[in-house]
Amino acid sequence: MDVREVIRELVSIPSHRGPDSDESAAGDCIAEWLRDRTDAAIEQDDHGNVLARRGEGTTLALVGHHDVVPPDNEQIADGEYVIEERDGRLYGRGTADMKGSLAAMLTAFRDADVPDDVELVFASFAGEEQGGEGCRAAIADGFSPEYAVVGEGSTGYSAPSVTDVAIAHKGRRGSTIVTAGESAHASEVAAGENAIYRATDAVNILREIEFPSTAVQNHDVEGSLAVTEIEGGSAWNVIPERCTVTVDERTVPGERAPIERVEEIDGVTWHVDQDLPPMACKDGAFADAALRAAEGAQDGDPKHVVKPHATDAGWLADRAGTECVVVGAAEPGEAHTATESVSLSVVERCDRLYRELITTFDGPVSG
């Protein structure tokens, strides 16, 4: 079963969270595929994750996820995912994010020659699209590989169609500012405290904050901070007593914007709703080994790059101490779209790339 057959099978299985759907069927398919085609030790845990292990020694993990975001109307028919192949690409929900790379990881795990003193792990997590549920649960249960390749998209960053190696990515901290005032009739402004005015004062503080930035292996990583929603007031003639402001912060390794400064204003509180951690590969030799594998798998000139989106590599780096790189078939702008697709030749490239990295991996590459 080649990688093109594997991706078609994976993509055909609905694996979004919904009233009548979840990712369990996809997890069962992956586990059965591994049992039938490898002699690895297979585990399906209580969280919906699938893990497989070969060999013993320093751990190198191939990490992906089998859940997807809900399909658009045109991507599903009679409860089944619509799949179409044309112009060398496979179209359908989950092709880019990230069943293309997942298929390549499966075939690489099956086919690669694993060096002595290396434990090769395949891990496909559930609930990645729900804030990394499966990855976080696995880490809590003791999953802590020394090294990992996370198969999210890294193609097309340095040049079109080139599969690069991401050595860092940003995180996301989503938070809410709540301002409390005192209502009054709008004809008697002095009788109340305007919560919207307090919110605008808080926004002004945010606008003064410099975006966080850092460097990872001589690559600049710059974060951002933006107000994305504001809601307040109850009627046109009432001084508002409450206002909320939603803040989107793209975080960088080791840095956070000092949003807490808004609480210096009377009646203002701030709380974090979501904090997806950034990732930085500190092991330059591992990053270089991944780049050499990328060079050997294609005719293009891959580079070390910084990925703007959070992935499970952030959880692994932050909570398990794993040295991670992100290498995968998807291109910027493909995931989560109504026209989601992946290049089949790039999926085959990723299979070669993963096998090359496994075969040449020799344990702690910078120890």
Does residue 151 fall inside a structural domain? yes
Length of the chain: 367
* CA angle 305–137–286, rounded 5-degree value: 30
Within a domain: 113: yes
**58 lies in a domain?**
yes
Residues 113 and 181 in one domain: no
The domain that contains 350 carries what CATH number?
3.40.630.10
Residue at 36 is within a domain: yes
Tell me, what DSSP letter sits at residue 114? P
pLDDT at 366 over 60: no
Dmax over Cα atoms in the chain, in whole Å? 80
Tell which of 276, 295, 322 closes a domain.
276
Q: What is the mean pLDDT of the chain?
A: 96
Residues 32 and 64 placed together within one structural domain of the fold: yes
Considering 276, 302, 318, which residue would you say is the last residue of a domain? 276
Residue 14 and residue 142 in one domain: yes
Q: Taking residues 312-327, what's their average pLDDT?
A: 97
365 lies in a domain? Answer: no
- Does one domain contain both 244 and 216? yes
Which of 162, 143, 164 lies closest to 312 in space, CA to CA? Answer: 143
Share of the chain above pLDDT 90, in %: 95
Residue range 52-62: average pLDDT?
97
- Looking at the fold, whether 152 and 121 belong to one and the same domain comes out as yes
- CATH code of residue 242: 3.30.70.360
Q: How many separate domains does the chain show?
A: 2
Does some domain include residue 144? yes
CB 102 within 8 A of CB 10: yes
Domain boundary among 210, 242, 276: 276
The Cα-based distances of 136 to 15, 69, 88, 297 in angstroms read: 19, 19, 35, 31
Q: Are residues 316 and 271 in the same domain?
A: no
| pLDDT digit string, tens, across residues 115-168 | 999 999 999 999 999 999 999 999 999 999 999 999 999 999 999 999 999 999
Q: Are residues 42 and 65 in the same domain?
A: yes
Contact at 8 Å (CB) between 104 and 329? yes
Model pTM? 0.91
Q: How far apart are CA 219 and CA 324, in angstroms?
A: 16
Same domain membership, residue 64 and residue 210: no
Does residue 16 sit in the same domain as residue 119?
yes
- Its domain, for residue 13, covers 3-170+278-360
For the segment 178-233, what is each residue's pLDDT rounded down to a tens digit? 999 999 999 999 999 999 999 999 999 999 999 989 999 989 999 999 999 999 99
Q: Give yes or no: residues 307 and 221 share one domain.
A: no
Tokens at residue 98, please? 């990230």
Residue 366, domain member (yes or no):
no
- Is residue 367 in some structural domain? no
